[in-house]
Structure 1
Amino acid sequence: MLATMFVLVPLLLPAPAQSTKPFTVKINSPWKTNVWFDSGKNVGFPCNYTGQKPIFRWYHNDVEITDTIVTDARISTYMASDGEFFLNIHNIKYEDAGTIKCVGELNGYSDSAELKFEVYEPITLKASAIQYGQLGGDAEVDCETAGRPGPAYRFWNFKNRTSVAQSEKFDFSESKLLIKPMMDEDATDYICGVYNGKTNQLKRFRITLRCWILTTN
């Protein structure tokens, strides 16, 4: 009886596909999501690459930033010695908010990366620093601010920094502190604290509440 012969043939697997991308670009930024800046800051955005070095172009809100086409002297670009390409915005303004895009091109191939961001103005008090309420009636202490957009959180303190607790006497309503009713001791200074969680900005405003007495003939 003839022995059955088995021949092992090595299985040839296809070689891993090689990337055809000569390079990739990336905006090398610590800000991935929820990108906010306070106005007046100087902000730099670096764009770097892996692979072959491309020719870079920057766009701000779909407008290319070049040395010959300058739409705003505050916005400029430059190439660092390590190959990173920067877009700088000096004294950033509310109107600068939008999208920046870094584009790399080489031999007909291109790659791009973009980043969206918003700009908020510093928080300032819009309401009067001296306000009035009627003795024996309800009083409203308004802490409306001029920040854009509106701050996310408010808190109230008395002038000695003691917290004003929510109660039937003191009621917080959006930008107002409602005092029901107003007594002599309520005519004092109040501290309105405004915290914008988007920009980690905290402001405190002192508001003086004075009383007036309604008189009848």
Structure 2
Amino acid sequence: MGKIGIYGSSFDPITNVHLWTASTIHHRCKLDQVIFLPCSNKRKDKQMKTEDEHRWNMLHLAIKNNPAFSADDYEMKQNAWNISTYETLKYFKSKYQQDTIYFIMGADLLVDIGKGKWGNSDLLVQENKFIVMARDGIDMLKTISSSPILRNNDDGETFHLIDKGLAMEISSSYIREEFSLDGEPRYLLPEECYQYIKKHSLYK
């Protein structure tokens, strides 16, 4: 039985912080694999202007040299507008039945789940395991204890809380803004992704 982390994001574009986060979690949580899961551009809470093909290509360029990293386009291929993390995790648990599946997320998302803002929030927490990365200004233990959804579905192994040790919060939106204004975000993302964006004139 292996341990697999599902790392979902828009990856528009993937950044060095995404890679560092995945590497940190892989090492500290003794995962066998981290699967990068780019979200669908059809989700109501995401408004992406970058074509799926470009996000997918850059993701592969970024992770190709790490055998512990892989990518899955499950959410990209979904046609439904109401794609939920609950259904996505059901898919991965069915695909990897002999392994333990963890959903990787930031503490800001833990807050939203605790407030019931995600589809099937109660069942999502009850039936799954999470690796939660610290975010500045968020007390993860207090977040869990103050939410009935989180605390009443926590069996002691539901949440694996990780403090990265460094506050590295460079966002994809910052990189997109830099490209759009002729800035220079070169060393904030993998070199091959930087060159890919230049070649295809993305984020202009």
Of Structure 1 and Structure 2, the greater helix share is in: 2
Same fold (TM over 0.5): no
Of Structure 1 and Structure 2, the greater strand share is in: 1
Q: Which protein, 1 or 2, shows the higher relative CO under an 8 Å CA cutoff with sep ≥ 6?
A: 2
TM-score range, shorter-chain basis? Answer: under 0.3
Compute the TM-score of the two structures, normalised by the length of structure 2. 0.24
Larger Rg: 1
